[in-house]
Structure 1
Amino acid sequence: MVFNEHQNFNQWWLWAILLVISVVFGYAIIQQEVFETPFGDKPAPTWVLILIVVLFGGLGLLLKVFTLKTKINSEEISFSFKPLVSRKYTWSEIKTIKVIDYGFVGGWGIRLATKYGTVYNIKGSKGLQVTLINKKQFVIGTQKPEVLKAYLIRLSETNTVVKSSLHNL
Structure 2
Amino acid sequence: MKAKDNTVYREVQRPRQLWAWAPILVCTGIMWYWFIVQIIYGVPFGNNPASDGFTIVFWVIFGVIFPVVILGFLKLTTEVHNDGIYIRLSPFHFRYRQFLFKDIYEYKSITYSPIKQFGGFGIRINMKGETAYNMNGKKGIELKLKYETVVIGTQNPDEFKDALDVVCNKKQRESTTEGGT
TM-score, reference length from structure 1: 0.70
2:151 partner amino acid: V
Alpha-carbon offset, residue 96 of structure 1: 0.9
Secondary structure of 2:96's counterpart equals strand
Confirm or deny: 8 A CA contact 2:32 2:63 kept in the other structure.
no
Residues in 1 aligned to 2:161 and 2:82: alpha-carbon distance in whole angstroms? 14
Residues in 2 aligned to 1:139 and 1:122: alpha-carbon distance in whole angstroms? 12
Structure 1 unaligned blocks of 5 or more? 163-169
Matched, 1:89 2:99: yes
Which of 148, 161, 164 in structure 2 is aligned with 1:136? 148
Alpha-carbon offset, residue 95 of structure 1: 0.8
Matched, 1:120 2:126: no
1:35 partner amino acid: Y
Which of 67, 70, 78 in structure 2 is aligned with 1:70? 78
1:80 partner amino acid: R
Which of 26, 29, 33 in structure 2 is aligned with 1:27? 33
Which deviates more, 73-82 or 89-98?
Answer: 73-82
Deviations 1:107-163 (A, max 9, x none): 22211245361111222232211111x23211111121233244445x28944759x
C-alpha RMSD of the superposition: 3.3
Question: In percent, how many aligned pairs have the same letter?
Answer: 28
Structure 2 unaligned blocks of 5 or more? 1-6, 174-181
Confirm or deny: 8 A CA contact 1:116 1:138 kept in the other structure.
no
- Structure 1 residues 67, 159: closer, same or farther in 2, change over 3 A? same
Which of 110, 118, 139 in structure 2 is aligned with 1:100? 110
Residues in 2 aligned to 1:106 and 1:47: alpha-carbon distance in whole angstroms? 38
Residues in 2 aligned to 1:135 and 1:122: alpha-carbon distance in whole angstroms? 24
Alpha-carbon offset, residue 67 of structure 1: 2.8
Which has the larger helix fraction?
2
- Structure 1 residues 23, 80: closer, same or farther in 2, change over 3 A? closer
1:7 partner amino acid: Q
TM-score, reference length from structure 2: 0.66
Confirm or deny: 8 A CA contact 1:100 1:128 kept in the other structure.
yes
Aligned length: 159
